[in-house]
Amino acid sequence: MYAKDLGGNRSNFQIYHEIDVQRVIERSLWTFKNAPLIFERLKPRDVPRAMRLHHLEIWVQLHDIRSGFKTERVVRDAGNYIGGFIKSDENNFNGVWRDYLRVRVRIDIEKPLKRIMKL
């Protein structure tokens, strides 16, 4: 990996292997001094200093969902309500002792968080 400071709390990280890139993306939320690191994958012709960084991908826990509503569709709808659905935890529907469901979402950090969703 190669890192370059771009100034203004921005850095450019160059990761050489696609497997490592996917590992970084899949295992985020990354933090530094208890603050989330917001990152975007550059596309050809993107200018790193000009990119607008305002989306964050995180895992969200869904609590107090009644057993009849514990479905993949409800998890997807909840993810889209919170932000943008990315994926559901593969262990959401395994076992009977699960108190909550998990969904990975992409949220806009410039908008207020949503706390309650009525089903």
In a domain, 27, yes or no: yes
pLDDT band at 72 (very low <50, low <70, confident <90, very high): very high
Residue 33 shares a structural domain with residue 60: no
Number of domains in the chain: 2
The arithmetic mean of pLDDT across residues 100-110, rounded, is: 93
From CA 56, how far away is CA 20, in angstroms rounded? 19
Cα 41 to Cα 1, 12, 72: the distances in Å are: 14, 10, 28
Say what the pTM is: 0.79
From CA 67, how far away is CA 38, in angstroms rounded? 35
Selected residue with higher pLDDT from 70 and 80: 80
The arithmetic mean of pLDDT across residues 42-58, rounded, is: 90
Residue 96: which domain range? 56-108
From CA 95, how far away is CA 1, in angstroms rounded? 39
